[in-house]
Copies of this chain bind each other. A is one copy, B any other.
């Protein structure tokens, strides 16, 4: 994907967040990466979604230096960059304050896999990060937020859980492209909403059996996947 196509994909991802009701005003941000050029395209900071164009997306290098664009990048840029560096197979990152996923993040609870909607996308719970220390908060806060996510994924494949809850903050999601990362943000909000209602109906609800979890996840992911159309993959 060349830089122009990447700008359009990042804009599309940001607009998907608005269209699905996941963000208001200037909340949240989406980015995409060109691995070949070592460049990240990200939403400008504090600009309302309805003023976004492919042109006012900000291009930075992997040290966070702006290389194209007159606007400041999203204040969460350093979190995105840490994720791109740690997860070499992802092409897009999205952050929102969507209501249900953020409530789980604020409650300090990971989301157990209560059903197949969840199992179709996460091969385990939706994980939550540990709290940052006062030093981490006082230092390179956004970068340290990224490190907290990466620590939580120690020994895990990011493709087996395309998102995370940053404790006391909100969700980050990722995918092969910025648009896929945005779709994963929408799916996480759906999973979070249904899980919220599940624990209200049954506070003792537990995760589904591994056999059912595997059956659904592997129907959609990996070499043996049978879901969808071969030509659309």
Chain A contact-residue range equals 35 or more
Tell me, in angstroms, the Cα distance from A107 to B114 when the chains sit together. Answer: 8
CB < 8 Å neighbour of A197 from B99, B131, B134: B99
Q: Is the CB of A75 within 8 A of B134?
A: no
Q: Is the CB of A105 within 8 A of B115?
A: yes
Q: Tell me if A153 is interfacial: C-beta within 8 Å of chain B.
A: no
Q: Which residue of B lies closest to A202 (CB)?
A: B107
What is the CB-to-nearest-CB distance from A200 to chain B, in angstroms, rounded to a whole number?
A: 6
Q: Tell me if A54 is interfacial: C-beta within 8 Å of chain B.
A: no
Q: Tell me if A226 is interfacial: C-beta within 8 Å of chain B.
A: yes
Q: Tell me if A14 is interfacial: C-beta within 8 Å of chain B.
A: no
Contacts of A229 in B (CB 8 A): 44-47, 71-72
Contacts of A226 in B (CB 8 A): 75
Tell me, in angstroms, the Cα distance from A169 to B117 when the chains sit together. Answer: 7
Q: Is the CB of B45 within 8 A of A168?
A: no
Tell me, in angstroms, the Cα distance from A102 to B118 when the chains sit together. Answer: 11
Q: Is the CB of B190 within 8 A of A200?
A: no
Q: Which residue of B lies closest to A105 (CB)?
A: B115
Tell me, in angstroms, the Cα distance from A103 to B45 when the chains sit together. Answer: 32
Contacts of A99 in B (CB 8 A): 190, 193-194, 197
A47, A137, A168, A227 interface centre (most CB from chain B within 10 Å): A168
